[in-house]
Copies of this chain bind each other. A is one copy, B any other.
């Protein structure tokens, strides 16, 4: 029997279609079981920036029903079309979480922390760090990009204890000033009160320990903070450089890239200032595209690295190819 579309389609279903293929193919495959031992592979991924070993550490994936307002300025059907174009489910939003770890000099640095405690499909930074052979006590510096829960909650575990007890915690000075202002909290819309409360819960007792950093400076050897406001007032990205190599750690310049790289004019519901976030996005992407700079995206699909190219007035993401032997 030759390969043709009919035979491939016929192979789609057991039973009647299988009979078309071969009399010996009548065995039902209804008994197939997903009983191979174990679950998914540990989701950490190592790559090099010059002599620096960088590790993407996945915190998991969150799936939420796709609401009409997930993208504030696009119709649900348009969002679904973008998801379908990426072969993703169209009735839910898929959001990945990927902190970045790197060693520079004697410092082991983690950028953003994930949700802190394994709970279903999210909160897996600590087990993935363990799988990568990283003791959480060996992390010297935790750098925070902004104060949303998926970035800061992992500072503590479910019991409220510090996950990285010996690490210095560095936060954007602008972000700290915004969220710690009682004035801002009091005048915030009701829907944002929870976020203010969460920030204060996480940082309670750490007020004197937290180091506030300024954008535009090298805050850790090789790591330069870049102000990328809009998503939040103090939202920060980073350039990690060594030798001639660089990676732009974009934090939340885009959420799911299949939506917001391809449609940079779309405003995700999490952007506090949509138009400013869009302007930041276009500026950042124009630069990384011009320089063919590697980009690490907190919300990119693991292993969360790729290249962004101009595509007319929009952009596209070319995922980096997996390197088994970096």
The interface of chain A, by Cβ under 8 A from chain B, is 1-5, 7-9, 11-14, 18, 21-22, 24-25, 27-29, 31-46, 48, 50-53, 55, 58, 60-61, 86-88, 94, 96, 101-106, 108, 120-121, 124, 131-134, 215-218, 221-222, 224, 226-228, 237, 239, 241-244, 246, 248, 258, 280, 283-284, 286-288, 290-294, 301-303, 307, 318-326
Taken together, the copies of this chain in the complex come to: 2
B3 touches A32 (CB 8 A): no
Q: Please determine whether B241 and A29 come into contact, CB atoms closer than 8 angstroms.
A: yes
Contacts of A32 in B (CB 8 A): 50-52, 103-105, 221-222, 242
Q: How far is the CA of A215 from the CA of B34 in the complex (A)?
A: 26
Residues of chain B lying within 8 A (CB to CB) of residue A292? 87
Please tell me if the beta carbons of A61 and B324 are within 8 angstroms of each other in the complex.
yes
The answer to whether B291 and A8 touch across the interface, beta carbons within 8 angstroms, is yes
The complex places the Cα of A3 from the Cα of B4 at a distance, in Å, of 54
> What is the CA–CA distance of A5 and B46 in the complex, to the nearest angstrom?
27
Which residues of B are found within 8 Å of A60, using beta-carbon distances?
324-325
Task: Return the contact of A321 from the options B9, B40, B94, B318 (Cβ within 8 A).
Answer: B94
Q: Chain B nearest CB: distance from A102 CB in Å?
A: 8
Name the 10 nearest CB pairs between A and B, nearest first. A1-B216, A25-B218, A38-B133, A301-B321, A11-B239, A29-B222, A37-B133, A22-B217, A34-B53, A121-B325
Q: Using Cβ atoms and an 8 Å threshold, which residues of chain B touch A227?
A: 1-3
Given contacts A32-B242, A36-B108, contact A24 B321 (CB under 8 A): no
Question: Nearest Cβ in chain B — how far from A204, in angstroms?
Answer: 29
| A125, chain B: closest CB distance, angstroms | 12
Closest chain B residue, CB of each to CB of A237? B3
Closest B residue to A283 using CB positions: B3
A91 to chain B, nearest CB (A): 16
